[in-house]
Homo-oligomer: A and B are copies of this chain.
Amino acid sequence: MNTPSSPKAATLHDVARAAGVSLVTASRALGNPGIVSEKTRARVQQAVEATGYIPNLLAGGLKSKRSRMVAGVVPALAVSQFLPTVQALTAALAEQGYQLLLGQTFYDVRREEEVLNAMISRQPDGIVMMGLVQSARARERLAKSGIPVVETWDFSDRPLDMVIGFSHLKVGSALAGYFLSKGIERVGMATGNDHRARQRREGFLAAWGRDVPTVTVPSPGSLELGRQALGQLLAQQSDLQAVVCSSDMLAHGILVEAQARGLRVPTDLAVSGFGNADFAAHLLPALTTVHVDGAEIGRQAAALILQRCHGQHPEPSAFDIGFELIERASTAPR
């Protein structure tokens, strides 16, 4: 090593001594500069530079009860649907000096509990969940932990605390209404096996009025699974007119497999996705899908948590961010 690798990291104590002030004054000069004289502040600043001081927020948080960390929990990071939310959340928090603690549940209730326990142990100032908290035990624990919780990407009558999302049932019925209005009669579904995808399927079926051929794939879907799904669907019903997918990646797979089989989209087969991934608008044909403003979910979640940290109690505590069915060439003949 080139530098004398951390003989001892400088503490606020060292800074105070170097600046010739007391510990508290140094603390205030950094954390609450307004109430310290110009001179002192400058000297403390200088001492910080000189000593290379980096504050230990963990220690500070112990006393102040604010860790300046927020937990973010996703099913799995590779679920691309959530990426804009997590990215925006992380960015919005960083801007206010908060950092994100990332956890993954892998769609497993036991891991969800473990992850949430691990998070609570670190005293986050807030928790943002992608999806609703599944585990009853975890819900209870969270409720009495007093930590602000934002559940996202879903909706519930009885949220744990705050919720930002939309009705997946309504998404399903909107899709059903859309295809019905197109005069389409024979549709199949390729759908992930997670809670939200199942909700959308239920909503679809309720509005559609009868059951439809369905292939269920593990969440998160993939292009490959989409390709396979089309094969299986056509095996069940060879004259399908449309396939409704629970993600854009699955829908993309359907498009590719349709092309491989010489089926023209949308003439022979209409295809819809979900999520409005950035590639959806630029495929051939462009993909009809359901848009949800994932980044906005992240920003709002950050805002809600930060409000709570500042002692406010936002009303209402449930935000329907809505969705939008975007019609593109994959379902729009000519």
Interface residues of A (CB under 8 A from B): 1-6, 9, 52, 54-59, 61-62, 67, 69, 72, 76-78, 80, 83-84, 86-87, 90-91, 94, 97, 99-104, 106, 114-115, 117-123, 140-141, 143-146, 222-224, 227, 249, 252-253, 256, 259-260, 278-279, 281-284
Contact = CB atoms under 8 A, between A and B. Distances in A.
Top 4 nearest A-B pairs (CB, nearest first) are: A6-B146, A223-B279, A77-B87, A57-B121
B140 A3 contact: yes
A5 B146 contact: yes
A145 B87 contact: no
A291 to B, nearest CB: 16
* Number of identical protomers: 2
B144 A118 contact: no
Contact of A146 (B9, B101, B145, B222): B9
A120 B99 CA distance: 11
B58 A62 contact: yes
Nearest to A122: B57
B86 A77 contact: yes
Contacts of A114: 94
A285 to B, nearest CB: 10
